[in-house]
Amino acid sequence: MTTLSDLPHFPSAPKNGQTLSFAITGLDEKGRGTGLLRAAIGPQRDPRAFSCHVSGARPGDQVTVRVLKRRKNTLTAHLLSLDSASVDRVEPRCPHAQVSGADHPGCGGCRLQDLSYQAQLDAKRHRLRTALDREGLTSVQISEVWGAEEPWYYRNKMEFTFGFDGEGRPSVGLHPAGYKYEVMALETCFLQSPEVAKLLPALAQWLKTTRPEHYNPRENTGFLRTITFREGKRTGDRLVELTTTGDERTQWAGEEAPSEAVVGAMTEAIRSLAATHSVGLTSVIWTRHIAAKGIRTRMESTAVWGESSLSERLELGDHGSLVFDIHPRAFFQTNSRQAETLYRRVIEMATQGREELGTVLDLYCGTGTIGLALARVCERVIGIELNPEGVASARKNAADNGIGNAEFHAGDVGETLDALGLSAQPVDLAVVDPPRAGLNAQAREQVCQLSANRVVYVSCNPDSLANDLVYLRKRGFAIGEVEMVDMFPHTAHLESVVVLNRT
């Protein structure tokens, strides 16, 4: 047991520029290594604990750092030396991965490639555990961590930026970690499918001969903004979306040309390159990002070739399957296979001890995926979503799947629950999947006023989740199973699902 005399002594709290050494025990929400520095401060040797956040450090490392900033008991620090490396460190698979001590910043896409996948899962469990403990939920157990069977090639959507590298050369790829404007050209990417990964470098090579105008956000000039690849992992559909500015004319091969002609030429090139590399495509979409001072920014999409959307199918085991029509800018879970795991667990938690449910509320329903997954095990689904486009997609998805017992409403969750008078109606279950901030005060109160004896809470932020769980427990709910689903391997993001039962 550490005593006060064992603690390192500092004349004052750590200052900017000070050098410190300590062990890394976890990861924060940005994927930075975290460690707890305990010290005796000042002439009175007051015991203090400082939470230290270090980019490039990994759980199990022993590090020496230089303090960059202190805010109360939280330190941000720069890694000076890796004194003892974690046994869980591995060689990154991708040549663009961010590596501790490297001269280049590395790609900002997936920052944990230098940590074994099991260690990533352990670190995410630790982060969820820490968030629960911080709110006094020390008795709550994390019963399961659902890792991905295939932690590579899992993304069904990747967006790449047309821009300029650090030397001002036109480039298409991703932003380096910590850089807002520079774009790193990619040789490959292990997050999208191997088939799609072939297209980007081939297209970048072809663009060198045509010299199109890449968009420059610093000067608000140029034409090509982004290229997005979306695919149905179960269906094989593949959609390419070219997003440009709203300019009617642009530069092409050193001459001015109509924007429509440039997009047409790029579409033919994309189709030709796809055929050369045996990549099946189902559509190419042109989206114009129209922005000008004094007018509302809008996005206008046109199918240049093929269908205006793609389809994806989710397999839900004993609960059948669902097919979703996904438009270029519609939200859909980025990891289709892990979305299947998440939704299966939601259904199983919802129906635990019940053969059939009455009315189910799907709050913050997005495009209706969770509600539609539950529609076959209940009498009625009522979904509420702030985004009207999401509600329109949810209604279409219900129709496409022959689901007639689901209705969807556009509006703020708290206000709409109140307006529909749902607190006075019989409700068996409420599923909540709020944004990162968690439930707002009105939504919290409305959920507690429902007659539902069970709430299933899906969360993308362990801190707001823990805060909401404390509130719901005070209002008469017992916290049951807490599980984690790893939707984004090699990143710090984590998704949790919790069942609460009214006592």
Helix/strand/coil percent split, the chain, to 5: 25, 35, 40
Q: Which of the residues 52, 107, 189, 460 is marked catalytic?
A: 460
CA-derived radius of gyration, the chain: 25
How far are the Cα atoms of 11, 40, 338, 409 from residue 4, in angstroms, in the given order? 15, 7, 47, 59
Contacts of 76-82 spanning 24+ positions with Cβ under 8 A: 76/52, 77/20, 77/52, 77/53, 78/54, 79/54, 79/55, 80/19, 82/57
Taking the C-alpha atoms of residue 189 and residue 147, their distance in angstroms, rounded to an integer, is 21
Cβ atoms of 284 and 306 closer than 8 Å: yes
Report the alpha-carbon angle 26-30-36, nearest 5. 30
Structure tokens at 175: 């932003």
Give the ranges where 422-491 is alpha helix by DSSP (H): 441-449, 462-474
Structure tokens at 296: 């509302």
How far are the Cα atoms of 324, 381, 403, 432, 493 from residue 376, in angstroms, in the given order? 16, 10, 8, 18, 30
Sign of CA dihedral 12, 17, 18, 23: positive
Structure tokens at 480: 């049951």
Taking the C-alpha atoms of residue 371 and residue 484, their distance in angstroms, rounded to an integer, is 20
Element (H, E) at 229: strand 224-231
Q: Which among 80, 20, 29, 22 has a CA at the least distance from the CA of 56?
A: 80
Cβ atoms of 34 and 61 closer than 8 Å: no
Side chain identity at residue 64, one-letter code: T
Cβ atoms of 114 and 33 closer than 8 Å: no
Task: Identify whether 378 is a catalytic site residue.
Answer: no
Query: Based on the number of CB atoms within 10 Å of its own CB, is 64 exposed (0-12), middle (13-18) or buried (19 or more)?
Result: middle
Report the alpha-carbon angle 265-270-272, nearest 5. 95
Element (H, E) at 344: helix 336-350
Give the three-class secondary structure for 417: helix
Cβ atoms of 228 and 244 closer than 8 Å: no
Residue 464, Cβ neighbours under 10 Å: how many? Answer: 17
Kindly list the catalytic residues.
460
